[in-house]
Amino acid sequence: MTSSRTVSRLSRILALIPYVLEKESADVSEILDRFDYSEDQLTRDLNTVFVCGLPGYGPGDLMEAYIDEDEVIIDAADYFTRAPRLTSTEALGLLAAGMTVVGMGTSTPALESAVRKLTKAVMPEASSALVVDVLDESDNVGILRNSAADQRVVRITYRSVGKEETTEREIEPWTVFTTLGRWYVMGHCRLVDEERTFRVDRIRDIEVTDDMFERPKRVPEPGVGYTASEDDVVCTIDLYPRALWVLEYYPVEVLRQSSRSTRIRFSAPDAEVPARLLLRLGEDARLVKGIEVAERVKDLGGRLLTAYR
Amino acid sequence: MQNVVERVLNLLIYLLESPAPVTAEDVRRTVLGYDEQTDEAFHRMFERDKDVLRKLGVPLSRHPLDAWEVDYGYTVDPDEYAIPDPGLTQEERVALSVAARMVRLGGSHAGLDALLKLGGIERSVGLEPLGADLGAEAEVLGSLFGAITERRAVEFEYRDKTRQLDPYGIAHRRGHWYLVGAGSKGERIYRVDRIEKLTVSATTGTFAKPRGFDVRSLMDSQPWETGSDPEVEAKIRFDSEVAWWAARTLGLEEPEAELVATVPVANRDALVGWVLSFGDAAEVLEPPEIRDEIRTRIEAALENLP
């Protein structure tokens, strides 16, 4: 029942003290930056340090900690000349971050040697125990990353998800990111004149143009959560036990659930998506409502049956 | 919270400066903030504060003070407390700071806490448009990672069964974290987000990882390559419109027109799902039993229409 805020506050204090002790002079603004502090937070933590120390807790037993003009002063804290060890969660976080960026294929020799040194310090006998694989098979991630950094417009041939059609469009790439095992590029799409997120693996061809764009000052946090729109095709499906994995892979709404079946509402930009899913599930699912989807299943199913006869 | 922070700081200083193990009673009498408590309140408080110390990475150890193990004393070895210096150069510290800002794990930037302990976050110039989100399971991954590095056995519930495992490694692949290790029936892979009620053995070094074992070797496969179906080879034709995309998934050279590819299959369901995700732009040509299975599914789906 420990508040994680207590732990993170203490963790930062125990990291701050050794840093300031070692420095000849520690500039306030540098400390704020380096330890991700607001001025109020730093003042509060220094005030806390100031009232702690050795048993007896008289003036000579307590640590000194205060701000003198633009400098952070900490003294009489010899027991805190080093920060505590990394916890396994902290070590994993930093190693995973380093390995992820190395795996993106855009890392520097400095990062590679940093990861090597950390691995040695954290798990000397288990260097193969952590694998982070985010590599994209194509070169597109690298091209898009460079275009985003240089603020250059790219022209892509894109096979859209759901609609299953191929279009050519110009986009202004803002960020390139990976989540849930796929790479995405987010930016302004000139074809629809709106902010859009594209799957990198669906980009067939890519061409960097000479056209420049200006990246907005504030770029929204990238995300790939599917947001239903009014034009969506909506249908109701009963899933039988063997098809329950669908709940984990599609953003569906569960309407009711029993041990025999689960009723879901499925929305997609095109009837093709639920139709392909239903054909794949066979007897493990049943379409309850959705005329457009039923028509598409009949149509596509009929063509597939001809091919497989 | 203010009181807790002060009390834990005082407790840690006391433990670091005590040459001999100290008992709970010593703490209660000596450290500011524990006095004036009832027995029960004190013990609750002390348990909680020890837990905070462990979460901070403080190596708190407990020793019996007599042969009958009636009384215990606590110590924190200052040498063990101190973070080992990995010897990072300024350039390496900047590179790690940039990486930590690019990668998210468990809803926040991965590794920033670790960087603070290593001397703070370095400022960097310029904008890095790349980013990665490694999912939500930071806590359970941290526990597993600790168990792996200290070679502690683990036990957990997975699909309603209790499993015991010597954990060898964790891997992030196709958007999921996997735990790899050896159970009573050989090497196994588990999805970390499906692990429940994880407990880690209290003793370290309970197993030895086989020499040359590499997590990667168990992970290098497509979903339809790992399964319990008798292994067969499937021949699949992809229309020219989707051939480039299928080739990319299979790691083949991108064809000019249509693609006919042969893939090993040990999980038919996964293969059928993948092929049907192309609609009628892909067709399994061989073997006949997979073609039969696809036909059966389509017929069932058509029969199930309202």
Number of domains observed in the structure of chain A: 4
Predicted confidence (pLDDT) at residue A126 exceeds the cutoff of 60: no
Band (pLDDT 50/70/90 cuts) for residue A1 is very low
| pLDDT in the model for residue A162 | 65
Whether residue A296 sits in one domain with residue A265: yes
**A139-143 — which CB contacts under 8 Å span 24+ positions?**
A140/A183, A140/A200, A140/A203, A140/A206, A141/A104, A141/A105, A141/A176, A141/A183, A141/A200, A141/B130, A142/A105, A142/A106, A143/A206, A143/A208
- Partner residues linked to A186 by β-bridges: A175, A197
Whether residue A153 sits in one domain with residue A103: no
| pLDDT in the model for residue A18 | 97
> Under a CB-based contact definition with an 8 Å cutoff, are residues A42 and A73 in contact?
no
DSSP A37-90: --HHHHHHHHHHHHT-BSTT-STTTB-EEEEETTEEEEES-GGGSSPBPPPHHH
Domains of chain B: 2-81 (1.10.10), 90-111+119-133 (no CATH), 138-220 (2.30.30), 224-303 (no CATH)
Give yes or no for B285 touching A (CB within 8 A): no
| pLDDT in the model for residue A226 | 56
Domain presence at residue A217: no
DSSP letter assigned to residue B252 = P
Of B84, B245, B291, the CB nearest to A121: B84
Predicted confidence (pLDDT) at residue A106 exceeds the cutoff of 50: yes
Domain presence at residue A112: yes
Predicted confidence (pLDDT) at residue A135 exceeds the cutoff of 90: no
Of A15-19, A198-202, B144-148, the least confident: A198-202
pTM of the model: 0.78
Give yes or no for B132 touching A (CB within 8 A): yes
Of A126, A175, A279, the CB nearest to B298: A279
Whether residue A93 sits in one domain with residue A73: no
Domain presence at residue A105: yes
Whether residue A241 sits in one domain with residue A197: no
**Residues of A in Cβ contact (< 8 Å) with B280:** 300, 303-304, 307
Which range has the top average pLDDT, A116-120, A296-300, B32-36? A296-300
Whether residue A60 sits in one domain with residue A100: no
Q: Which structural domain, as residue segments, surrounds residue A256?
A: 233-308
- pLDDT tens digits, one per residue of B171-180: 998 788 999 9
Of B32, B145, B276, the CB nearest to A279: B276
Yes or no, beta carbons of B276 and A297 under 8 Å apart: no
Nearest C-alpha of chain A: how many angstroms from B280?
6
* Residue of A116, A50, A238 whose CA lies nearest to B306: A238
Domain presence at residue A179: yes
Band (pLDDT 50/70/90 cuts) for residue A48 is very high
The average pLDDT across A67-75 equals 94
**Residues of B in Cβ contact (< 8 Å) with A215:** 127
**Residues of A in Cβ contact (< 8 Å) with B87:** 117
| pLDDT in the model for residue B10 | 96
Of A80, A97, A130, the residue that ends a domain is A80
Domain presence at residue A40: yes
- Here the tokens at position A34 are 């380096």
Yes or no, beta carbons of B95 and A276 under 8 Å apart: no
**Residues of B in Cβ contact (< 8 Å) with A142:** none
Of A52, A79, A287, the CB nearest to B6: A52
Nearest C-alpha of chain A: how many angstroms from B89?
8
- Here the tokens at position A146 are 């460079």
Domain presence at residue A226: no
- How far CA B221 is from CA of A10, A249, B246, B263, B271, in Å, comes to 44, 20, 15, 11, 13
Whether residue A92 sits in one domain with residue A156: no
Three-state DSSP at B1 gives coil
* CATH number of the domain within which A191 lies: 2.30.30
Whether residue A74 sits in one domain with residue A17: yes
Give yes or no for B26 touching A (CB within 8 A): no
Cα separation of A104 and B129, whole Å? 12
Q: Which residue of A has its CA nearest to B268?
A: A280
Band (pLDDT 50/70/90 cuts) for residue A45 is very high
Nearest C-alpha of chain B: how many angstroms from A134?
7
Whether residue A32 sits in one domain with residue A67: yes
Spans of chain B, pLDDT less than 70: 1-2, 125-126, 218-221
Phi, psi of B175 (to 5 degrees): 85, 0
Whether residue A103 sits in one domain with residue A75: no
DSSP letter assigned to residue B242 = H
Whether residue A64 sits in one domain with residue A115: no
Phi, psi of A197 (to 5 degrees): -120, 130
| pLDDT in the model for residue B81 | 95
* CATH number of the domain within which A29 lies: 1.10.10
Q: What is the ipTM of this complex?
A: 0.79
Whether residue A156 sits in one domain with residue A191: yes
| A-proximal residues of B, 217-236, CB under 8 Å | 219
Cα separation of A174 and A216, whole Å? 8
Give yes or no for B59 touching A (CB within 8 A): yes
Domain presence at residue A129: no
Yes or no, beta carbons of A19 and B120 under 8 Å apart: yes
Domain presence at residue A107: yes
